[in-house]
């Protein structure tokens, strides 16, 4: 349980089902373990800035709708704020605050010169036309105004947002700001299309980073990526790249579940064919290369590694009791509730935390931002080699901290990140 005096001072009430409270409680637990100063715990327990905007958007039929948008900037002691923008009907302030705090920890863990932020709009983008999404995205960008910028806060794609939407954000920002900074203005956002300031390897980066982490960590747990079975929740950007890249290394993808249904093949699903099917139809339902599987059977399917790559909070206590895996690798942000994690750890299932597992996305975003600043384009081989170096080094530091402090991987990842943040706060001091 988190440090009560911090919660009291910042007027947070402990609500076990609230994702923001869960996230901060877990960070504070690590801070207590490291005996970080109280002032630092206070700072990390609340975001620096919370922006809420209301966006009037004209629909194709001439009607107007108003959408709610958020940008939360959690911490910027290491550098400009950085974090994705999500379009999803369930987006709310506490959700965005939690994900912003996770970004602070993630950037600190892998050693990027960025702080943590997150944004979102409460909307189901699947229900809007392309033109409506464009108008919404441009309006959201203008509403964020000078609260975003290549030196200040740099958004990226997340659930429900795409490279095309990042291009609209960059274009809107460039048109609204200093005409003499058109080139560096591109760096206001990452995850852009390759033709317009994007980076090779950004699209697959999160899945690629996870593969590097698994290659580094699994052998110590008695597995090898070339010879294991796994299942996935979610077959969007993160899930489908993770599936394809792990299968390329020899692993067997037994089952996938997404918002449209579940599909299973004991001999292994064809990950490439499934990705094409999802692109064409919007989900895994109807895929001919496997059989239909129900939700409970999906969770109960024996696999070596189980990878949630969809929404937060999906692995609660009840789901955790069903799982028959040896390792759960979090590709989504915060997919496991604290109660779910306790069940998994008690059952001897290792949990590899999102702060480490999905940090590949923000790492290649950092490469994209660097390329934009230097007007360069790196080859894919360069991107992959640099990504591997960063992910392997972070995985080793987490393993070492877990051994040294005798803690689980999530606490070890938090402690590794906090050590870095604490050092920088000591060096910089707190203004004024
Ligand atoms: P996406 O929109 O491309 O895909 C989301 C997937 O989740 C889809 O397959 C969808 O069917 C599935 N899904 C949605 N609701 C579901 C439900 N109720 N049950 C089962 N499946 C459901 O999003 P993404 O970019 O792949 O992001 C997935 C997760 O990874 C999110 O938690 C995101 O924050 C995290 N993440 C993404 C990146 C990135 O680079 N895209 C980086 C780091 C972390």
300-322 residue pLDDT tens: 999 999 999 999 999 999 999 99
DSSP β-ladder status, 305-308 and 327-329: parallel
Share of the chain above pLDDT 90, in %: 93
Question: Which atom of ligand 1 lies nearest, measured to the CA of 239?
Answer: 26
Q: pLDDT confidence of 203, banded at 50, 70, 90?
A: very high
User: Residue 7 — pLDDT band, cuts 50, 70, 90?
Assistant: confident
Mean pLDDT to the nearest integer, 188-211: 97
Task: Indicate the angle between helix axes 360-374 and 93-110, nearest 10 degrees.
Answer: 70
Q: Which residues participate in catalysis according to the annotation?
A: 118
- Residue whose Cα lies nearest atom 17 of ligand 1: it is 259
Q: From the alpha carbon of 365, which atom of ligand 1 is closest?
A: 40
For residue 30, the CA-to-ligand 1 centroid distance in Å is 27
Decide: 340 in ligand 1 pocket, CB within 6 A: no
> Percent of the chain, pLDDT > 70?
99
What confidence tens digit (pLDDT) does each residue in 61-79 have?
999 999 999 999 999 999 9
Is there an atom of ligand 1 within 6 Å of 309 CB? yes
| CA 232 – ligand 1 centroid, Å | 11
Q: Residue 2: what pLDDT?
A: 52
Predicted confidence (pLDDT) at residue 338 exceeds the cutoff of 80 = yes
The pair of three-digit structure tokens given for residue 69, joined into one six-digit string: 């948008």
Q: In this structure, what is the dihedral angle of CA atoms 421, 422, 426, 428, given to the nearest 10 degrees?
A: 20
- Asked whether 163 and 90 are in contact (CB, 8 A), the reply is no
- Rounded mean pLDDT of 55-60? 98
Confidence at 372, pLDDT banded by 50, 70, 90 = very high
Model confidence band, residue 179 (pLDDT cutoffs 50, 70, 90): confident
Residues 31-54 have pLDDT tens digits of: 999 999 999 999 999 999 999 999
Q: Find out whether 249 and 226 touch, Cβ atoms under 8 Å.
A: yes
CA atoms of 199 and 386, how far apart (whole Å): 13
Neighbours of 313 (CB within 10 A): 18
Distance (angstroms) between ligand 1 centre and the Cα of 63 equals 30
- Please compute the mean of the pLDDT values over residues 136-161 and round it to a whole number: 97
- CB of 186 sitting under 6 A from ligand 1: no
In this predicted structure, the answer to whether residue 13 has a pLDDT above a threshold of 80 is no
Q: What is the pLDDT of residue 70?
A: 98
Q: Quick one: pLDDT band at residue 14, thresholds 50, 70, 90?
A: confident
- Burial classification of residue 130, based on how many CB atoms lie within 10 Å of its CB (0-12 exposed, 13-18 middle, 19 or more buried): exposed
- Kindly report the protein residue whose alpha carbon is nearest to atom 21 of ligand 1: 258
Q: Whose CA is nearest to atom 16 of ligand 1?
A: 259
3-class SS of residue 85: strand
Taking CA atoms only, the protein residue closest to ligand 1 atom 3 is: 236
pLDDT of residue 3: 61
pLDDT for the residue 6: 85
Please give the model's pTM, rounded to 2 decimal places.
0.96
Average pLDDT for the chain:
96
HSE-CB for 362 with a 13 A CA cutoff: 34
- Predicted pLDDT at 180: 83
For a mutational test of ligand 1's pocket, the pick from 103, 258, 361, 365, i.e. the residue with the most ligand atoms closer than 8 A to its C-beta, is 258
Q: Is 37 helix (H, G, I), strand (E, B) or coil?
A: coil
Asked if omega into 432 is within 30° of 0 (cis), the reply is yes
238 CB within 6 A, ligand 1: yes
Residue 75, phi then psi, degrees to nearest 5: -160, 140
């Amino acid at each position: 349980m988190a440090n009560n005096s911090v919660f009291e001072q910042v007027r947070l009430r402990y609500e076990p089902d609230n994702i923001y409270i869960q996230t901060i409680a877990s960070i504070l637990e690590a801070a207590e373990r490291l005996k970080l100063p109280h002032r630092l715990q206070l700072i990390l327990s609340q975001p620096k800035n919370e922006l809420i905007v209301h966006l009037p958007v004209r629909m194709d039929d001439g009607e107007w709708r108003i959408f709610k948008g958020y940008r939360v900037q959690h911490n910027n002691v290491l550098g400009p704020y950085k974090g994705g923008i999500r379009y999803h009907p369930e987006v709310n302030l506490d959700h965005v605050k939690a994900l912003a705090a996770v970004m602070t920890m993630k950037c600190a863990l892998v050693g990027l010169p960025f702080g943590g932020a997150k944004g979102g709009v409460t909307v189901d983008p699947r229900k809007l036309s392309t033109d409506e999404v464009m108008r919404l995205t441009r309006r959201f960008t203008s509403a964020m105004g000078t609260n975003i910028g290549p030196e200040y806060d740099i958004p990226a794609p997340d659930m429900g947002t795409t490279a095309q939407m990042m291009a609209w954000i960059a274009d809107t920002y460039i048109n609204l700001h200093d005409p003499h900074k058109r080139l560096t203005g591109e760096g206001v956002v990452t995850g852009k299309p390759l033709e317009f300031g994007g980076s090779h390897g950004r699209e697959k980066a999160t899945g690629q980073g996870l593969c590097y982490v698994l290659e580094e960590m699994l052998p110590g747990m008695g597995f090898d990526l070339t010879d294991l079975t796994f299942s996935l929740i979610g077959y969007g950007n993160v899930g489908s790249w993770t599936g394809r890249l792990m299968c390329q290394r020899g692993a067997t993808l037994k089952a996938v579940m997404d918002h449209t249904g579940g599909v299973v093949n004991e001999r292994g699903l064809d990950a490439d064919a499934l990705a094409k099917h999802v692109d064409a139809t919007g989900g895994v339902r109807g895929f001919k290369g496997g059989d239909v599987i129900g939700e409970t059977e999906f969770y109960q399917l024996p696999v070596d590694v189980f990878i949630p790559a969809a929404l937060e909070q999906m692995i609660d206590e009840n789901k955790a009791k069903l799982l028959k895996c040896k390792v759960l690798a979090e590709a989504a942000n915060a997919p496991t509730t604290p109660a779910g994690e306790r069940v998994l750890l008690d059952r001897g299932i290792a949990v590899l935390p999102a702060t480490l597992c999905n940090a590949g996305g923000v790492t290649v975003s950092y490469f994209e931002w660097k390329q934009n600043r230097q007007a360069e384009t790196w080859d894919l081989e360069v991107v992959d080699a640099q990504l591997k170096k960063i992910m392997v080094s972070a995985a080793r530091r987490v393993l070492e901290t877990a051994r040294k402090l005798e803690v689980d991987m999530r606490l070890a990842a938090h402690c590794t990140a906090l050590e870095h943040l604490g050092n920088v706060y000591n060096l910089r001091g707190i203004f004024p």
